[in-house]
Every structure is written in structure tokens, then in C-alpha cells.
């Protein structure tokens, strides 16, 4: 399995993912500080906004990965080539989905930690709000964001269902944006973004879709 | 004799249409089997079924002594293929594509890659992306990839599409070398009947999903009668002369063409008689019914040497 994941990394260039991650994190950081400054939001809520933004961005990145690694292989018919190799189809697809899930989880975790630390440093240096953030608080927030990262990695697989039906990249990306707007929505009365259960439900659906795809892959004709 | 591929009662139904119906095919080990058929006859579907890309609705496939099941995959290690057109990871170089192929096939011999690139006549392409290749080059690379691991069975769908005449000849030699030197069995489909005629040991003709004939090339050559074809503007007069020569077994094909099947009279005797009677002769020559005519007879299209199949070179008999 490890070898199959290694080969996936060889087939597709992941440079854009690395560069995109750095740019996205800088933009998020650059965005949230003025938000707090202008809107006078409490630091509690700031961590939630940060986490939600990061998850939103990387679930969409995950959909791009799905498009490149799975949908495009179907569209370019290179998947037929893969299926004529002496490797179980289930394993091929599992390797791809594992790679996407793991990559999304790792990127969300690292990004959350980096952005939170960045925010922590800037906040305490320039006193953006009247509160002070103790270092302990920072660690608690990062751990909580990691929980959401696991859930987001699962949810990032949901677009696979919509993408595979028509083998369409737009459908994959669009469905990921819809998912993001649902699970990261927040307003003063009711908020899904800081509700771990909603995120876990989405993650379960994503994992279920992944299993369903893997289970079906042997039965389907590759035409 | 050992059998490489055997299908029994193979049937595939898709959206209510029978694409392959009750097809029984036998390919012997070490031979070159040419699969012929008009567009949409089911050649590609059949080949996809042999590679387990498409699962049969009914019937059984035996390949290299093993029965194919919907989840078989080990067997694919012993097969090489090109289906429809060669598919590559276009953003990678030719060399990287072959390395990837080796990795997935579980074949570790880097020297074989260079050797194969040379064998299919691709030079100085190492760092060029496949995206920049012409169709002919892709086809060569596809053939190279299929034979790279020296599989026991090659399934090649239209492998000479897009190749230039020199390339076609090179590939023909390569295929013959592969069967002779390595004992590889080849299943080749093509529109170019002349090519199959020169290459195949056995041909299978498939039409509307059914295998309507499976026959060795030797038998076809044996069966096909010779005749003399005479082209003259004065067809009626010529017929009269022919009758006078005591030939009754002849056929008027069109306004200027006569075919004489009688083997007792020589070509020289006929032309001499015609010239003596002042009959203009545009051409007169001996002909053997070729694979094209045999094929068109079976498939039920009008048999005429003037009809060219898609992509085929014009046939000259002079």
C-alpha cells in the first residue's frame, strides 16, 4: 500500500499543493487580524473563525486532489491502464483515497497550528484586543482544531460521490464548496462551525462514500 | 497444441444491446491471431473483456490456462496490451511512463527500458513529454510499453494506427521477431487487411458481435481461386472471342471488366487471340482473391477491388 501511495506521488506533481498551502495560510492570517481589529470580536471566536477558514480552504483543496487523482484518471482513461496492471483495483483506489485523506488531515493540522501560533504572536505583540492569550490557551485551541481536522479529512471525501457520477471536475469542486458552506457556517443564533458532532457526521458520510466506491470498483465495467 | 485464449459462449449485453453474442474463439499459443471486423463489430469490447476491463454477461474466458473471474488480476502480469489508442500520463516523459509501467507490473530491470525504446525505433526522446509526441510516436511507445516486460500474451488493438509505411514494416518485423524469439502469442486487431494478411497465422472475422469465421491464413490461400482479369473497352466483342476459345467459366463484372476462371487457357493465349481480333486491352493480369475480398464477402459488403477500407493503401495489381 505504501508503495502504491509512493507511485501516486510520482505520477502527479504536488508542487501546487505546497505553494497553495503557504499562500492560503498567509492570506488567512492576513484576513483574520483586521477582522478582529474592525469587528472587535473576542479571541474565543477568533480561534473558531480561524479553524473554520482553514478547514474550508483545505476541504476544497481536497476536492482538487480528488479531481486530479481520481476524476482526471477516469476522464483521461489512464484508469484503464491502471486496471490492466496486476494489482487489485480496490487497492489502487484505496491508495488514492488514503493519500488524499492523510494529506488533507496533515495539512489542516499543520496549518491550524501555524496560523494559531502566528495569530498568538501578532495578537500579543500588537495588543489587537483588550484580552491577553495565555500560552496554555493556545495549546487547548490547537488540540481542539486537530479534532476538527480529523473530521474535515473525512468530509473532504464526500465530493467523490458527485464527481464520479458524471466524471466531472466542476461537480467535484462545486460539491466541495457546498459542503464547506454547510459545515463551516456560523451566525449569532446557530453555528455549525464549532459543533464537532456535525463535522463528525459529515466525516462519517465521507468515509462511507469512500468505502462504497472501493467496494463497487470491481463490479463496474471500464468503458 | 497449447491454447492461449479460449472463450466459450461469451456474451456481453449493454443497455439492452448485445455487443458480443455467443462468441467462441480459440487462440493457440505462439501464433499471431488477426482479429478483423468492420467498425463497431465488437473488437475493442472483446479485447477489453480479455483484459477484464469489461465483465461478460455470460460465457467464460480462459487465458493462459486460467479462468478469468471478475476479480482476477494476477493474470494481468503475463499480458501486455494496447486498447483503442495508447494512453499515457501525458505530463510525464516517455522514460518516466515506462518506469511507472515497470513499477506497477512488478518488473525491475531498468536496462530493458532503454532496450525497448530502441527496439520500437524511438530515439532521443528521453526527456520529451508524451504530450509533445505525434500519434505515430505514441503508438510506438505504446507498443514498447506493451512488450517491455516480455509478457506471454499481447493484446494489441489497432497497433499500427498512425504509423508511417516504414514504421508499419518495422513493427511487422518486430511482431514476427517476438513470436519467433520469445514465443509470445499475439492477438492483433486492425482495419488494414493487407497488414494482417502478411502478419497473421490465423484470422478471426467478427461482425455484429459474432465470430463468423475463424480460419488459418494457409487455408485461405489454398481456397482462393486464381482468375484472369481482363479490362477492355470492347467488352461485348471480347466476350465473343472468349466464347470462341471454348471458355465458358467466365464472369462479366462490369462494363469493361471480365473475369476468366478457366485454368486450362493461359493468359498469353487469351491476349494473343484478342490482339489478333483487334480488341483493345487496357490490362490483363492474373489475380488471387485476397484477404480483403474474402473479408468483404463474409461481412456482406459489395466486393470490389476499388473499394478501400478506411485508412488502407490503394491496392495495385499491375
Least CB-CB distance to A222: which of B53, B71, B91? Answer: B53
Q: Chain A residues contacting B, CB < 8 Å?
A: 3, 7, 10-11, 13, 76-78, 80-89, 218-219, 221-223
pLDDT for res B126: 67
Domain final residue, candidates B188, B218, B248: B218
Instruction: Please check the confidence at residue B308 and state whether its pLDDT lies above 50.
Output: no
Alpha carbon separation from B118 to A132, A205, B126, B199 (Å, rounded): 70, 51, 11, 22
- What are A98-109's pLDDT values in tens digits? 999 999 999 999
Strand partners, B66: B63
Residues B124 and B244 in one domain: no
Instruction: Please check the confidence at residue B91 and state whether its pLDDT lies above 50.
Output: yes
Instruction: Please check the confidence at residue A205 and state whether its pLDDT lies above 90.
Output: yes
* DSSP structure class, residue B225: P
How confident is residue A223, by pLDDT bands cut at 50, 70 and 90?
low
**Helix (H) or strand (E) segment spanning residue A117:** helix A89-126
Residues B205 and B250 in one domain: no
How confident is residue B307, by pLDDT bands cut at 50, 70 and 90?
very low
Residues B255 and B171 in one domain: no
* Contact between B53 and A221 using a beta-carbon 8 Å cutoff: yes
Residue B304 in domain: no
Quote the percentage of chain B above a pLDDT of 90. Answer: 12
Decide: residue A167, CB within 10 A, 0-12 exposed, 13-18 middle, 19+ buried: middle
* pLDDT, average across residues B184-196: 87
Least CB-CB distance to A11: which of B51, B83, B100? Answer: B100
Chain A residues in contact with B53 (beta carbon < 8 A): 80, 83-84, 221-223
CB B228 within 8 A of CB B287: yes
Chain A residues in contact with B106 (beta carbon < 8 A): 86
Average pLDDT, chain A: 87
B288 Cα distance to chain centroid: 19
Alpha carbon separation from B111 to A11, A28, B98 (Å, rounded): 21, 50, 11
Residue B310 in domain: no
Residue among B89, B92, B96, B149 with most chain A CBs within 10 A, to mutate: B89
* Contact between A84 and B53 using a beta-carbon 8 Å cutoff: yes
Q: Chain B residues contacting A, CB < 8 Å?
A: 14, 48, 51-55, 70-71, 73-77, 79, 81, 83, 87-92, 96, 100, 103-106
Residue among B20, B50, B85, B104 with most chain A CBs within 10 A, to mutate: B104
Residue B311 in domain: no
Domain with residue B251: its CATH number is 3.30.70.100
* DSSP structure class, residue B74: G
pLDDT for res B315: 44
Domain with residue B85: its CATH number is 3.40.50.300
- What are A67-94's pLDDT values in tens digits? 999 999 988 889 888 999 999 889 999 9
CB B98 within 8 A of CB B142: no
- What are A139-179's pLDDT values in tens digits? 888 888 888 899 899 999 999 999 988 889 999 999 999 98
How confident is residue A188, by pLDDT bands cut at 50, 70 and 90?
low
Residues B166 and B19 in one domain: yes
C-alpha cell at A205: 458520510
- What are A2-28's pLDDT values in tens digits? 889 998 888 888 899 999 999 999 999
Which of B198, B205, B183, B155 has its CA nearest to residue B1?
B183
Residue among A73, A80, A81 with most chain B CBs within 10 A, to mutate: A81
Domain final residue, candidates B200, B218, B236: B218
Range of the domain at B72: 3-218
Residue B229 in domain: yes
3-class DSSP state for residue B24? strand
* Contact between B83 and A11 using a beta-carbon 8 Å cutoff: no
Instruction: Please check the confidence at residue B116 and state whether its pLDDT lies above 60.
Output: yes
Quote the percentage of chain A above a pLDDT of 70. Answer: 98
Minimum distance, in Å, between the CA of residue A210 and any CA atom of chain B: 19
Q: Which of A63-72, B40-49, B55-64, B284-293 has the lowest mean pLDDT?
A: B284-293
Residues B130 and B264 in one domain: no
Residue B308 in domain: no
pTM: 0.81
- Which residue in chain B has the smallest CA separation from A90? B71
Residues B198 and B229 in one domain: no
Residues B206 and B267 in one domain: no
Alpha carbon separation from A159 to A1, A60, B120 (Å, rounded): 23, 9, 42
Which of B228, B318, B311, B303 has its CA nearest to residue B273?
B228
* pLDDT, average across residues B298-312: 50
Region label for B121, one of left (φ > 0), alpha (ψ between -120 and 50) or beta (otherwise): left
Residues B49 and B195 in one domain: yes
* Contact between A219 and B70 using a beta-carbon 8 Å cutoff: yes
Residue B293 in domain: no
Domain final residue, candidates B218, B246, B279: B218
Residues B93 and B233 in one domain: no
Residue B315 in domain: no
Strand partners, B252: B258
pLDDT for res B69: 86
* pLDDT, average across residues A110-128: 87
Chain A residues in contact with B131 (beta carbon < 8 A): none
| Structural domains of chain B, count | 2
Residue B301 in domain: no
Residues B155 and B245 in one domain: no
3-class DSSP state for residue B66? strand
Could you give phi then psi for residue B157, rounded to 5 degrees? -95, 115
Which is more confidently placed, B146 or B273?
B146
C-alpha cell at A45: 471566536
Q: How many interface pairs between A and B have CB atoms less than 8 angstroms apart? A: 63
Instruction: Please check the confidence at residue B78 and state whether its pLDDT lies above 60.
Output: yes
* Contact between A221 and B105 using a beta-carbon 8 Å cutoff: no
pLDDT for res A64: 94
pLDDT for res A209: 92
**Residue B154 to residue B175: CA distance in whole angstroms:** 10
Which is more confidently placed, B265 or A30?
A30
**Residue B222 to residue B199: CA distance in whole angstroms:** 17
Residue among A9, A15, A86 with most chain B CBs within 10 A, to mutate: A86
Residues B171 and B211 in one domain: yes
Residues B93 and B200 in one domain: yes
Chain B residues in contact with A86 (beta carbon < 8 A): 73-77, 105-106
Amino acid at each position: 500500500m505504501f508503495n502504491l501511495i509512493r507511485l501516486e506521488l510520482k505520477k502527479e506533481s504536488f508542487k501546487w499543493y505546497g505553494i497553495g498551502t503557504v499562500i492560503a495560510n498567509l492570506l488567512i492570517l492576513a484576513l483574520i487580524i483586521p477582522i478582529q481589529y474592525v469587528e472587535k470580536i473576542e479571541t474565543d471566536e477568533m480561534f473558531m473563525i480561524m479553524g473554520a477558514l482553514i478547514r474550508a480552504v483545505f476541504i476544497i483543496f481536497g476536492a482538487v486532489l480528488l479531481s486530479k487523482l481520481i476524476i482526471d484518471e477516469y476522464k483521461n482513461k489512464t484508469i484503464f491502464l491502471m486496471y490492466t496492471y496486476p494489482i487489485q483495483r480496490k487497492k489502487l483506489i484505496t491508495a488514492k483515497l488514503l493519500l488524499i485523506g492523510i494529506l488533507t488531515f496533515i495539512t489542516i493540522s499543520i496549518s491550524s497550528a501555524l496560523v494559531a501560533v502566528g495569530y498568538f504572536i501578532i495578537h500579543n505583540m500588537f495588543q489587537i484586543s483588550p484580552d491577553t492569550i495565555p500560552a496554555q490557551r493556545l495549546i487547548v485551541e490547537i488540540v481542539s482544531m486537530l479534532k476538527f481536522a480529523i473530521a474535515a479529512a473525512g468530509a473532504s471525501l464526500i465530493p467523490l460521490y458527485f464527481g464520479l457520477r458524471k466524471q466531472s471536475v466542476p461537480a467535484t469542486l462545486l460539491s466541495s464548496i457546498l459542503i464547506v458552506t454547510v459545515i463551516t457556517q456560523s451566525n449569532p443564533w446557530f453555528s455549525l462551525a464549532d459543533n464537532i458532532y456535525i463535522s463528525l457526521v459529515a466525516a462519517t458520510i465521507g468515509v462511507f462514500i469512500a468505502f462504497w466506491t472501493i467496494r463497487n470498483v470491481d463490479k463496474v465495467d471500464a468503458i | 497444441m497449447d491454447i492461449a485464449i479460449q472463450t466459450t459462449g461469451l456474451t456481453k449485453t449493454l443497455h439492452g444491446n448485445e455487443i458480443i453474442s455467443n462468441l467462441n474463439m480459440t487462440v493457440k499459443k505462439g501464433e499471431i491471431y488477426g482479429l478483423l471486423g468492420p467498425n463497431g463489430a465488437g473488437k475493442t469490447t472483446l479485447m477489453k473483456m480479455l483484459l477484464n476491463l469489461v465483465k461478460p454477461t455470460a460465457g467464460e474466458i480462459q487465458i493462459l490456462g486460467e479462468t478469468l473471474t471478475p476479480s482476477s488480476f494476477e493474470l494481468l502480469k503475463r499480458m501486455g496490451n494496447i486498447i483503442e489508442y495508447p494512453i499515457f500520463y501525458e505530463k510525464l516523459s516517455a522514460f518516466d511512463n515506462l518506469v511507472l509501467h515497470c513499477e506497477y507490473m512488478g518488473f525491475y530491470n531498468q536496462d530493458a527500458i532503454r532496450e525497448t525504446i530502441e527496439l520500437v525505433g524511438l530515439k532521443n526522446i528521453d526527456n520529451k513529454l508524451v504530450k509533445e509526441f505525434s500519434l505515430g510516436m505514441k503508438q510506438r511507445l505504446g507498443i514498447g510499453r506493451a512488450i517491455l516486460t516480455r509478457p506471454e500474451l499481447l493484446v494489441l488493438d489497432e497497433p499500427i494506427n498512425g504509423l508511417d509505411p516504414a514504421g508499419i514494416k518495422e513493427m511487422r518485423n518486430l511482431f514476427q521477431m517476438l513470436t519467433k524469439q520469445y514465443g509470445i502469442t499475439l492477438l492483433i486487431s486492425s482495419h488494414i487487411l493487407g497488414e494482417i494478411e502478411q502478419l497473421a497465422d490465423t484470422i478471426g472475422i467478427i461482425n455484429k458481435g459474432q465470430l463468423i469465421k475463424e480460419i488459418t491464413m494457409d487455408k485461405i490461400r489454398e481456397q482462393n481461386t486464381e482468375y484472369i482479369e481482363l479490362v477492355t473497352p470492347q467488352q461485348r466483342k471480347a466476350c465473343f472471342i472468349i466464347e470462341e476459345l471454348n471458355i465458358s467459366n467466365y464472369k462479366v463484372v462490369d462494363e469493361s471488366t471480365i473475369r476468366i476462371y478457366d485454368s486450362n487457357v493461359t493468359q498469353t493465349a487469351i491476349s494473343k487471340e484478342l490482339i489478333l481480333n483487334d480488341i483493345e486491352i487496357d490490362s490483363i493480369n492474373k489475380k488471387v482473391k485476397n484477404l480483403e475480398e474474402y473479408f468483404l464477402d463474409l461481412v456482406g459488403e459489395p466486393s470490389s477491388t476499388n473499394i478501400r477500407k478506411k485508412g488502407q493503401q490503394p491496392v495495385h495489381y499491375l
